Structure 1
Amino acid sequence: MNELISIIVPVYNVECYLDACMASILNQTYRNIEIILVDDGATDRSGRMCNHYAKLDKRVRVLHKKNGGLSDARNKGIAYAQGEYIMFVDSDDVVSLDITRYLYQLLKSNYADIAICDPIHCYPGKEIVFEPETSQWIFEPEDAIAEMLYQRSFLVAAWGKLYRKKYFDHIRFPFGMLFEDSAVMYKIFDEAKRIVYSNAKLYGYMHREGSITTKEFSRRDCDILIICSQIMEYMSHRSEKLQKAARSYQTAAAFRIYMNAPRNGKFDLELKICNKWLQENKKLVLHDPGIRLKMKLALFMYKFARPIMPLVYKKINRWK
Structure 2
Amino acid sequence: MQQPLVSVIIPIYNVEKYLRECLDSVVNQTLREIEIILINDGSTDNCGKICDEYAAKDKRIIVIHKENAGLGAAYNSGLDIAKGEYIGFVESDDWIEFNMYEELYFKAKNNDSDLVKCMFYDYNSTREPKDKLYMQKHEDFELFNCAPDNKIFKIEDYPKLLIYHSSIWASLYHKTLINRLRFQESKGATYQDFPFAIEALVLANKITTLRKAFYHYRQEPLNASSVKRTDQNLIKMIDQCIYARTRLISLGVFEKFKEEFYAHAISPLYGFYYQLQDDLKPLFFEKLVKFFNNSLSENLSYKYFNQREKDFLFCILKKDFSKTLLCNKQSLLYKFKKILKFLLGRRYI
AA partner of residue 240 (structure 2): I
Residue in structure 2 matched with residue 191 of structure 1 by the alignment: 203
Q: What residue in structure 2 maps to residue 96 of structure 1?
A: 97
Measured in 1, the distance between the counterparts of 2:81 and 2:213 equals 29
1:238 aligns with 2:238: no
Q: Give the 3-state SS of the residue equivalent to 2:16 in structure 1.
A: coil
Query: CA separation in 2, counterparts of 1:307 and 1:124?
Result: 29
Task: Give secondary structure in 1 for the equivalent of 2:7.
Answer: strand
From 141, 149, 172, give the equivalent of 2:182: 172
Output the amino acid matched with 1:222. Answer: I
Conserved? CA contact 2:155–2:161, under 8 Å: no
Equivalent position of 2:310 in the other structure: 299
Mapped contact 1:228–1:249 kept (Cα < 8 A): no
2:31 counterpart residue number = 30
| CA shift for structure 1 position 283 | 6.0
Deviation at 1:288, TM superposition (A): 4.4
Secondary structure, counterpart of 2:278 in structure 1: coil
Return the alpha-carbon distance in structure 2 between the equivalents of residues 76 and 57 of structure 1.
Answer: 20
Query: What is the alpha-carbon distance in structure 1 between the residues aligned to residue 268 and residue 13 of structure 2?
Result: 27
Count of residues in Structure 1 that have an aligned counterpart in Structure 2: 307
CA RMSD of aligned residues (A): 3.4
User: What do the CA deviations read for 1:34-61 (whole angstroms, capped 9, x no partner)?
Assistant: 1111111222211111111111111111
Q: CA deviation at 1:306?
A: 5.4
**Secondary structure at 1:97 match in 2:** coil
Alignment TM-score, normalising by the size of structure 1: 0.81
Q: Name the aligned partner's letter for residue 246 of structure 1.
A: F
Q: Shift of residue 257 of structure 1? A: 5.2
Equivalent pair of 2:41/2:67 in contact (CA under 8 Å): yes
**2:183·2:196 contact (CA, 8 Å) conserved in 1?**
yes
TM-score by length of 2: 0.75
Pairwise CA distance, 1:122: 2.5
Which amino acid is 1:30 matched to? L
After TM superposition, give the deviation of residue 303 of structure 1 in Å.
5.1
CA displacement 1:192-243 (0-9 Å, x = unmatched): 2111123422111123343369976512212232233333344444374313
- Paired residues of 1:139 and 1:194 also in contact (CA < 8 A): yes
Q: Conserved in 2, the CA contact under 8 Å of 1:257 and 1:274?
A: no
Following superposition, the deviation at residue 185 of structure 1 comes to 1.4
Aligned residue number for residue 111 of structure 1: 112
The whole-number CA distance in structure 2 between the counterparts of 1:298 and 1:48 is: 44
Which of 152, 164, 169 does residue 159 from structure 1 map onto?
169
**Residues in 1 aligned to 2:209 and 2:177: alpha-carbon distance in whole angstroms:** 18
* Residue identity opposite 1:311 in structure 2: K
Q: 1:234 to 1:79 in 2, by over 3 A?
A: closer
Counterpart for residue 10 of structure 1: 11
* Alignment partners' CA distance in 2, 1:302 and 1:12: 34
Q: Displacement of 1:141 after TM fit? A: 3.2
Which consecutive unaligned segments of at least 5 residues does structure 2 have? 316-322, 339-349
The 5 Å alignment of 1:1-320 reads: 4-126=5-127, 136-137=148-149, 138-143=152-157, 146-149=159-162, 151=163, 153-154=164-165, 156-175=166-185, 176=187, 177-211=189-223, 218-236=231-249, 237-238=252-253, 240-252=255-267, 254-256=269-271, 258-264=273-279, 266-275=280-289, 281=296, 284-285=299-300, 287-289=301-303, 291-292=304-305, 294=306, 296-300=307-311, 308-314=326-332, 315=335
8 Å contact from structure 1 (residues 24, 96) kept in 2: yes
Q: Displacement, 1:309?
A: 2.1
